[in-house]
Chain A
């Protein structure tokens, strides 16, 4: 069941939460809406579910498998929605929570008691909580509640599954586990799913596609690899992981940033300002000048815990630079705080006004 969002805008008073957003989620994929708070990602999710009305516009539409559901009420869209704080019914047992969507069906489509019970037990097994059916939500841990909320959403056999910050309220360890579990679950049940997150690592690890949002617009829609390695905009570059910014300008056919000059293949004018973004691991450090174009800098901090060794440097204009390198290389080099070093460039992305070199 594919989801298609066409020309959706949403304003709250004077605040534009979404501005002409269009998006296609292919059938069976798990897509992340990624962005900072206030980027409109949750509003978009709630509009898809029908919990929020988009601004009226004749061109707008919400299509499930090609069928426009924009005029249908939230209860008629048959979506599974998992709320950020779970919104489990506090006065019902876990069993009753999961059975709710089946019990409230009109008489002629409501499954029999036995069928409901069988379905609930099947879902309890799916979320690996077979023995908690009689408990109340307040007796469960955060991770368990999250899984119950998911089972409740799945009970109505939703056409699409929507999750609002599904791991937002959990501690780091449970988050990790649950995230892998969700990915595995999606591979089993294959229901088209959209989840909202502000955690880039989560989006990149779990999703088939990542839709990066900012200020009510979609900045980029691509596979995790695409958005990470080929960011379409400065925002995406900066939002996905740490990045160093260098300012420079176009001189004839080069973009010049201090000691570095990069070939300018675009049509940028002479003297135009340019910005270069470099990931910390795309910079290299040497203790001696080996002739490569390099920037002189002083080491102000070394942080060697974690998967890579991280350096904080100050260049000659006291601009901070972050560099990461593998531990073995760090050990071979023998650098200490306060040392003078030379920073060279392995890879970078340069942005001039509206386009990418």
Chain B
């Protein structure tokens, strides 16, 4: 009896072991095989999507998938210049107030219904409807009127010229015939979207995966890769193990994984690693309401006292670059010639003593009028890079006699108790860098109220003027001048010490070809990716 049980267990166990051994795919040597249709790409995602109606969602997983299912009127091309998407062309009136979009002919929704300008008008009205709980209504507040004079023309008029007007029409257009007259928050499309995009929705297993399939009627032609599977794997270590076992074809690596764990010939044979500047920067901001930070020389001294290269080496293993302002290096708006602060403790000390901070009692800390130079840096829990950055900064500032305390706070308390009420000395945080340089909400002096984003209370009249002018100017070379000057002021004033722009480190299985890294990353030409027929792994 007992023996029977044991052997039955053994058979079961062997059966389990036997099935589903994944063989790594090794690409044919040097053969640049021809593009072919078919195969599946499995992409790793840390979080599940929340809502596939883009008007209601603000998380990155949802927007990644929405980007495959829907189209906007315009989009960013590989070099981050605006190009037509559902709009074939557009005209901007002499006074910069009216944009007329000419829409593509013959585009259909995934259910076969034709796409027309009525859909665009409907989507616009949905965004500005007070009943729609969306975080994106603000973009369209300046619109005076919108109309759809014929099925292939959409015209929108603004009260004042707005630099971000054109790209704001890159929002996903939603199908009027499926959403009209319904409560948007109860629409089934939030779980099963229908768009015009290159991939159509197949299924969503919450917390597990989302599956999309190539849209053979896509207006730019059918994408090569037949199916996309987003697998939700909340842990980066697990994701990396899944990648190595063949359970994933695409993920974003951490600097440690990129630098130390993937540097083997075996890994390089199976995967291609990519590296380019991510669209975000990390900074240390100073609360300018605090008396000690009101003196520009103190902020400049702190910038000299930090070794940014060392922070990038220590925190990102060198996979990033020094930030000098709020823009991404090598984009049209980035000013490479602003004042820099190379690591120099001597200059830092000189500036501090010029401002009156000297070590008068010989205890190793600088002081002035009996008060030591001491402040607390806060950052949020859950972001290791920021915490490590803070620790390196703490040590370097200690060396020039500045006493720094660290405080790491859970996200919600961090915002409610510290950031919003302006209850902090210095803060380490990051911002994303949007492709459009308008930075009004973060730097304009009118945005220093509670819950607003200029929480360091930066007020500079020239910056205010530049920001107002910048968002009303449409000509790119004009705008470049404006934002060049803006960066010069920030570099001189140092309200933030800009620390680093990290690198994005995606990895893709080697069987996928046609990937062409550009300023816009690698995903922009996804419909042109392909797997040569011999190397295809999933046949159905």
Say whether A and B bind each other.
no
Q: Which residues of A does B touch, CB under 8 Å?
A: none
Contacts from B to A (Cβ < 8 Å): none
